[in-house]
Amino acid sequence: MRLASPFCRSMRRWTAAVCHVEKVFPVSSTAQSETMQVRRLADSQLANFDKEYVGERKWAALRACIDRDFSGRPFSFLDIGGGNGLFADRVLATYSNSRGTVLDNAEILLRKNKDWPDRKTIVCGSAENLETLFAGERFDIIFMNWVLHHLVGESYASTTENVRRLLHGAGSLLHPNGRISIFEHMYDGLVIDNLPSHIIYHLTSSRRLSSLIRRWGANTAGVGVCFRSRKAWLDIIRDAGLDAVEYSEGSRWPIRLAHRLLLHMGNVRGGHFWIRRGLSSDSP
């Protein structure tokens, strides 16, 4: 294990009093692993994520998947980018024989986590270190709720590769018959399917445009965000050696005409992928 930052170390001491903290990895402004470079949001940007994202309709769709594939048996889960832990708390409260791990690299969110003695583990670390952090461990379900669009690299291509690598790594941490659950935003273009993804990535990741983009309301200005069309998400899932066995989506969002035209936005809505390892996957 590498040395943790002083803040992370004090966080570990603090959290250890109420939670079971297993690993603490350093967090820097550009988190790096051997193969992935991911830009990191500032604490002031991360603070906006201290809320509950999974509403009743989304939860009902997800529960149907869990109940069908894990019907009453105990399961373990990993929530990548689990932040304040509210989602993990909901899973733990609903499935009394489940155990969960929350992974996030934002201490300001992790410290909001509620304690679940012996059932909840908090890991302060970055998704790009997934396979090192959890070497030798396996999970029944890996959740990724609105985290994949944050794996922003220095180019659009490297951002796509970051997502592919994380998905492939997550696949290798699954028990046989395990599942990956992903909630994401689907940004389909008006005419060109994945064009909004490229426009939004370039506008939000530009450091030069950051004050203007922030004024337009993008919390991720200067670092970047990469939403994708439904088809583009599915392409990466397939390229990672995974199979989306079920997909459900919410209703279409109302979009202001200016945004629709400037960002080429067509059908934009939330979606949920329920995924298993593909038959051709080379994961163990």
Which residue ranges make up the site for ligand SAM (CB under 6 A)? 31, 38, 46, 49, 53, 81-83, 87, 103-106, 109, 126-128, 145-147, 150
Nearest residue (CB) to ligand SAM, 133 versus 264: 133
Nearest residue (CB) to ligand SAM, 56 versus 176: 56
Nearest residue (CB) to ligand SAM, 81 versus 264: 81
- Kindly state the smallest distance separating residue 150's Cβ from ligand SAM, in Å: 4
- Kindly state the smallest distance separating residue 272's Cβ from ligand SAM, in Å: 12
- Kindly state the smallest distance separating residue 104's Cβ from ligand SAM, in Å: 4
Place of tokens 């966080």: 11
- Give the whole-angstrom CA distance, residue 158 versus residue 123: 25
Nearest residue (CB) to ligand SAM, 8 versus 31: 31
Q: How far is CA 195 from CA 81, 158, 245, in A?
A: 26, 17, 26
Closest CA relative to residue 71, chosen from 59, 60, 63, 82 = 63
- Kindly state the smallest distance separating residue 162's Cβ from ligand SAM, in Å: 9
Nearest residue (CB) to ligand SAM, 25 versus 95: 25
Q: Residues 213, 221: contact at Cβ < 8 Å? A: yes
Torsion angle of the four alpha carbons 182, 113, 169, 72, in this order, in degrees rounded to the nearest 10: -60
DSSP string, 13-72: HHHHTTSEEEEE----SEEE-SS-EEE---HHHHGGG-S----HHHHHHHHHHHHHHHTT
- Kindly state the smallest distance separating residue 215's Cβ from ligand SAM, in Å: 21
